[in-house]
Structure 1
Amino acid sequence: MSVISGGSDYDRIPLGSPSSVSSFPINQDYIGTQSVMSSSITAANSILPPEQANINFKPTTTAVTKISKLKLHVLLDSTIYTAGGILTGRLVLTSASARSLKLGEISVELTAYEELTVKEYTASQSFLSSRLVFQSENLPPSNAVHGPKENGYWMAKKGKTTFPFAFKIPIDAPSSVNYGNLAFLKYVVTGVVQFMNNNKVDTLFRSKEAFVVEAWDGQNPIYKQPVDGINMKQLWMGGSGAVTLEGTLTETLFQSGGNVSVQVRVKNETKRRVNYN
């Protein structure tokens, strides 16, 4: 039985090279007077089959880069996303100083991976990834920076800058799973900022897990087929016949809030009279 996994923040989940989902910028409402368009770096449309997936992918938590001058948060617009829909959220970057702090590439990544842990053995592989870049060597500077570019970095502006993002989830994407801490299937959104502080280059990561549930076609004819059940029992002193109970559900699948129609039939082939309510 699949259980939707719980949410938590992660330090860093590195990307491999599996298949990608399409990603695109929303109409970006940055703090400031101008809007900077983002660029989708990867854009594929489906999950790779297992034999083509990156079997060497192993997500691990790395040492956390801490810098008091720069904060990064990933905010998701929903608690649950459905396969075939759009995963939306915001990358919020806050700079507490405009001196000696420079920012380089700013991006957000979506990766999905599955992991199995048996005793002391752990195997992981990713099956989906996408990356959206807001600022880089090949893109104009965002509202988080100002001044001329030097060696791929711009001077940081003091304050908060918000970068909206959106990822199209494949229609056949599986549900998030956390099965007894033995098997996981997770979707993780990671914000990435390269920065230079006092001439020292480093990278700041911040991740958030997204809950995804698989899609299903409620109009599929297979769900409209009836379901029958039958049971019978012989009675003491009732002869060779039996009491038969038959039940029929008019459809295979019902939605919450709807009506459930059940047909019930009782047949008494014994010598005794049967009372029922």
Structure 2
Amino acid sequence: MISEPPLPDDLRALFAGGVDVGRTLSVPLPPGRSVAAADDAGGRPGFWLSDGPAPAGLWARLRAEHDRSGLWPLLLDALDDEDADYRPWGNGEVTPGRMSSPAGHDPARLLERWWGEHVEDALDDTATPAERDAVTAPYGSRWPGLAPGRPVSADAGRIADGLAEEILAGHPSVRLGLVAVGRAADAVTVVGWQGPTNYTDDTAELSAVLRSWEERFGARVVAVGFATLLLSVAAPPTTRDEALAVAAEHFALCPDNIWQDDEPHTLARYAERLVGDHSWTFWWD
């Protein structure tokens, strides 16, 4: 019986002491290096980063080995592809040490709190109550609660694989990242990503919501940019009403998805594109 090769030292360094024992990875990796946070040079590296663009097909092979390797793959995009530092990834412009644990946050309470905060800011002070309510119609200022989950009949992993290949085909300069994490939702916290910093400086709160979406919609984290996040979704909403409920959660998590949208800036318009869509994109200004 041929045993699988153990993790190389630069990948073993991503795990806390002893957690890497028995981990294996049979997929050859391109040249790369482990990256530590710039403000914590003596700490454990937060992730591994390829030196060049991610090869086609590699993301899916690594995703398939996640259970054995303990490493979740990410497609990592930079603020500026021409930047030699490949911010925030290449220069370690991340802060994993200041993040809490996703398990310590209730996603329902987080979304309800954020919803209330964003509804207050939905329009400028000259807007009438009717204009404010129109932004988040049919809910107005009332938080509708969590959207019901849908049966995940599709293979969530293969849906994620397909999205990864679409990203690489359209943006072949993205690099490959590997994160030592038990589930995809926690990857952004473990690497110390600061993309939503204008709305929360603790990315563990974001991961708590992503965990809930993993369970309710088969969502997986596939790609992360400087302030962008792209998820695959195995069980997206299939009706307008389902999509509206999901759109409310998106607004609570990332109001810029609606505020920065083409006119009109309404939840109803945004919800239209969620029906049957197997990818969710977020951007924080």
Task: Calculate the TM-score normalised by the size of structure 1.
Answer: 0.22
Point out the structure with the larger helix share.
2
Higher-strand-fraction structure: 1
Task: Return the TM-score normalized by structure 2.
Answer: 0.22
Q: Report the structure number with the largest CA radius of gyration.
A: 1
